[in-house]
Amino acid sequence: MTKENPSTTKNVWLLVIVAALGYFVDIYDLVIFSIVRVQSFHDIGIPESEMRVDGEYVLNMQMGGLLLGGLLWGILGDKFGRIKVLFGSILMYSLANIANGLVTDIHSYAIIRFIAGIGLAGELGAGITLVSETMSKNKRGYGTMVVASVGVLGAIAAYYVSEFFDWRSAYFVGGGMGLLLLVLRIGTFESGMFKDVAGKSIEKGKFSMLFTNRKRFKRYVYCLLIGLPIWFVVGILITQAPEFGHALNAPITLSAGKGILFTYLGLSLGDVLAGLFAQITKSRRLAVFIFQGLIIVSSIWYLGSDGLTEQRFHWIAFFMGIAIGYWATFVTIASEQFGTNLRATVTTTAPNFVRGALIPSTLLFEFFVRRTDIITAAYLMVFLLTGIAIFALSQLKESFSRDLDFVER
């Protein structure tokens, strides 16, 4: 067995660090709206009674952008390379976030969040694809774990920036960090596996290939479904903390911003725990199954907490963050299921389609709210989405230590 070249190892870990910092900025920009929603809506004149529904409107526009962007950047990543996607996506979401600091009405706010969503869609998938294809098959789990655990700390940065600056400045900071990140990207190298297939006459980044083969299509759908509950927790249960707190007779109005802070602290720890558990047991499926169970436990704790205090909410948010900490493992599983000529397409679309699934989840949630109440509706959604995710996981083969140097025909 040949030893790894120290200089090569150093370059690989430099790539991991740069990918992690990129995801840090990506997460900052992804959650900043949820954190500054109330403050920004007050300033642009949104009535208190319309804030929850208008908040869903803007967030759904952002998620719609992520859906479109996931498809766009994934195809481009397989056709032209992972590095080009990283540059293009960062530039788009950085400029969009700067523009978001200048909005004065709800519709321009939503349109610019849509554009930002398109840009934000490229970062994680391209980064995870690069790391997965560059590191050895037994160690790549550590690389993707580092990317995710460092990246989600961007949400914590977003919270503290919003505490010390107004909401417009918070958007400017996010855009500025993205532009600085472009400088760091200079010197990063393309995946060797992509270079090997780049000159070959095989289909690359052809999205329709995911639908022309029954087994491949089912594999793709199952990859998407295992992440379904994650963004419902962030996008509804935590983002609407003020409304859930009111329904639970909380003595004070709960802060969505602080909820996101503690959720992402937990998510960072959860990504490490899920990654380490998968490496120790050599099973990503087992790790994801356990964490899906924790989502149910933490959601029951949250939704059953009558008289919810602020301190208790913070602890629950932290635990819920740990529970959804299989995010990096989920994206890694998606990456490992497909060949090099479709890997960026799958790895980029999977997390963004999961984020975008918040749109139908929100619509179904509102359907249940109108017929029951906000707490009952949340229970129904958590059990439904987690049940679907567990079933999908049971249909996928274990991908730990799989050799990724293959193509889809």
CATH number of the domain that residue 24 is part of: 1.20.1250.20
Domain count along the chain: 1
33-64 tens-digit pLDDT: 988 988 999 999 999 888 888 998 998 899 88
Q: Is residue 195 part of a domain?
A: no
What is the Cα–Cα distance from 324 to 288, expressed in whole angstroms? 9
d(Cα 327, Cα 230) in Å, to the nearest integer?
Answer: 8
Q: Is residue 408 part of a domain?
A: no
pLDDT digits (tens, 9 = 90+) for 224-263: 999 999 989 998 999 899 999 999 999 999 998 899 889 9
CA of 306: how far to CAs of 294, 382, 403, in Å? 20, 18, 50
Residue reference for tokens 């929100």: 362
**What is the predicted pLDDT for the residue at 109?**
95
What H or E segment, with its residue span, contains residue 59? Answer: helix 51-80
Dihedral in degrees, nearest 10, Cα atoms 182, 185, 191, 195: 70
Q: Does residue 406 lie in a domain region?
A: no
Q: Which helix (H) or strand (E) holds 5?
A: none
pTM for the complete prediction? Answer: 0.82
Q: What is the predicted pLDDT for the residue at 194?
A: 56
How high is the pLDDT of residue 190?
56
To 5 degrees, how large is the angle CA 184–CA 188–CA 194? 145
pLDDT digits (tens, 9 = 90+) for 15-40: 788 888 888 888 899 889 988 988 99
Q: Residue 359 domain-assigned?
A: yes
Tokens 């195809």 appear where?
75
Residue with tokens 């996928």: 396
Print pLDDT tens along the chain (409 aa): 334 444 456 677 777 888 888 888 888 998 899 889 889 999 999 998 888 889 989 988 998 898 899 889 988 888 887 778 878 888 899 999 999 999 999 999 999 999 999 999 888 787 888 887 788 777 777 888 888 888 888 888 998 999 999 999 999 999 999 998 888 766 565 555 655 666 666 777 788 898 888 999 999 999 999 999 998 999 899 989 999 999 999 999 999 889 988 998 999 899 889 989 998 999 999 999 999 999 999 999 999 999 999 999 999 999 999 999 998 899 889 988 998 888 888 988 888 888 888 889 999 999 999 999 999 999 999 999 999 999 999 999 988 877 777 776 7
Token reading at 124: 């994680």
Is 248 inside a domain boundary?
yes
Q: What is the pLDDT of residue 1?
A: 38
Range of the domain at 57: 12-189+209-394
How many Å apart are CA 64 and CA 179, to the nearest integer?
Answer: 23
Looking at the domain assignment, is residue 38 inside a domain? yes
Question: Can you tell me whether residue 187 is helix, strand or coil?
Answer: coil
Report yes or no on 149 lying in a domain: yes
- The pLDDT value recorded for residue 143 is 84
Report the SS3 class of residue 254: coil
Asked if residue 201 belongs to a domain, the reply is no
